[in-house]
Structure 1
């Protein structure tokens, strides 16, 4: 759904995001906004269940409700319908839902802010509000589908493509990237909560993190066999 909604009242989260499932069991979200700490409020993931973005005038309660619906066996379209039906203030919300098998659905309320858009692709769904142009979600999907490598790297490429396509109508200040796999916590959870260059900063964090990512899983599950911790006093 795309269109123009009402202007800002208070402090909404003006956002563009992508959720993706790469077929290996990994689920992830990359997200950026002009508001601070966007990933803390808008990105919701559950290993083996799904990925949800709840954005625009954000209601963080909707993320867990949609994940619960997926966990009960509903496909994304049905999950979205069950959570949005009859819900108060739903016109202010923008939602994307993705299941581990790559099925997706999206919703943009009629009171969403500025230029809005959403696009589903192969194993991915992107959406945004207060966008600089209508092509931002499609650019993110294209970049994701044409990329390769770890899910983190592909999501980062999609986020950068969204920015290159215009991103938000104003400057972005926060960004985040979260990926879940087999363990019951995010293997990657990187956030830039306030910066003039949040996506560039996030890129630096991802490049630093990826070589160490698996080591931290091993340290949690099998500490006696884990690699050196790399801190003073550790041999």
Structure 2
């Protein structure tokens, strides 16, 4: 299976987050290429892809192996190493890459401080360098800088075959093996990078909503309402976020604004009106007030 792909693996030196971003003209590229584990490392495995490089490299890093030794050991045991392309970064930001000599041109990699970019079957041989420059120049959190690197690849031609799928995986500095902060995939799309950016914006909105849920549970209704407002600003088309933001506003004392938000959500999806009837006072203390204000009782 030959997959022309460009990817980046990186560690954030401030937060310790680890991540992978990838694009390819191949269906569901993220299901094969992207691997990361909190406190351990991140791996991108591509070209004539051997997915086992991902978990195998992470297991070696978790056991204490040096990142370069881990990758060298895996390629030395692989009879098709000449066709593989792999990038690895560990939890201390040490990065290495392998581009087999039989990877389809243009193929190459660029290793930087805490990251490595790798690409094969590209329109130009400058793709890894363009990715590295975009990543280093970008601002924001690790997810934002990883996606900037993908845009950098496109700025010099990207995959010679065009676009199809993309993925973004970011894990925290510490946590259980399954924990991810961002895990987004665009499996088949005419503009996968634009769609990935849209999904990242939606992810950020739901991240704020999750924080707001925690504040609501702690009785900090005003602070929760502020976060819900920010979430709805990031995702203005989300009736779900509008609904929960409305309940938070109502519980925080602004019954008029909260009821209006719930009403707007129900206008888009009448199921919210049904749900409001089912929510217990524990889950929605302001629910009865909102129903009365809207004349739904």
Same fold (TM over 0.5): yes
Change (3 A) 1:83 1:164: same
Change (3 A) 1:62 1:34: same
Matched, 1:186 2:177: no
The residue number in structure 2 matching 1:13 is 3
Within the candidate set 121, 127, 132, 1:130 is matched to 121
The residue number in structure 1 matching 2:191 is 197
Consecutive unaligned residues of structure 1, counting only runs of 5 or more, are: 1-10
Shift of 1:222: 9.9
Comparing 152-161 with 206-215, which one deviates more in the overlay? 206-215
**3-state SS of paired residue (1:74):** coil
The residue number in structure 2 matching 1:67 is 58
Decide which structure has the larger Cα Rg and report it. 2
Q: Compare the two structures and name the one with the higher strand fraction.
A: 1
Change (3 A) 1:224 1:33: same
The residue number in structure 2 matching 1:92 is 83
Comparing 39-48 with 68-77, which one deviates more in the overlay? 68-77
Q: Compare the two structures and name the one with the higher helix fraction.
A: 2
Equivalences, count: 224
Write out per-residue CA displacement over residues 34-61 of structure 1, whole angstroms, 9 at most, x where no aligned residue. 0010011011101000000110011111
Write out per-residue CA displacement over residues 1-30 of structure 1, whole angstroms, 9 at most, x where no aligned residue. xxxxxxxxxx32210001111111101111
Relative contact order higher in (CA < 8 Å, ≥ 6 apart): 1
Matched, 1:140 2:131: yes
The residue number in structure 2 matching 1:172 is 163
**3-state SS of paired residue (2:121):** coil
Matched, 1:42 2:33: yes
* Coordinate RMSD, CA, aligned: 2.2
**3-state SS of paired residue (2:74):** helix
Shift of 1:195: 0.9
Matched, 1:26 2:20: no
Shift of 1:223: 9.8
Shift of 1:88: 2.1
- Using the alignment, how far apart are the partners of 2:100 and 2:188 within structure 1? 27
Write out per-residue CA displacement over residues 143-186 of structure 1, whole angstroms, 9 at most, x where no aligned residue. 11111211111111111111112111110100011100034311
The answer to whether the Cα contact below 8 Å between 1:176 and 1:192 also exists between their aligned partners in 2 is yes
Moved segments of 4+, more than 4 Å: 214-219, 221-231
Q: TM-score scaled to structure 2, two decimals?
A: 0.70
- Using the alignment, how far apart are the partners of 1:50 and 1:71 within structure 2? 8
**3-state SS of paired residue (1:67):** helix
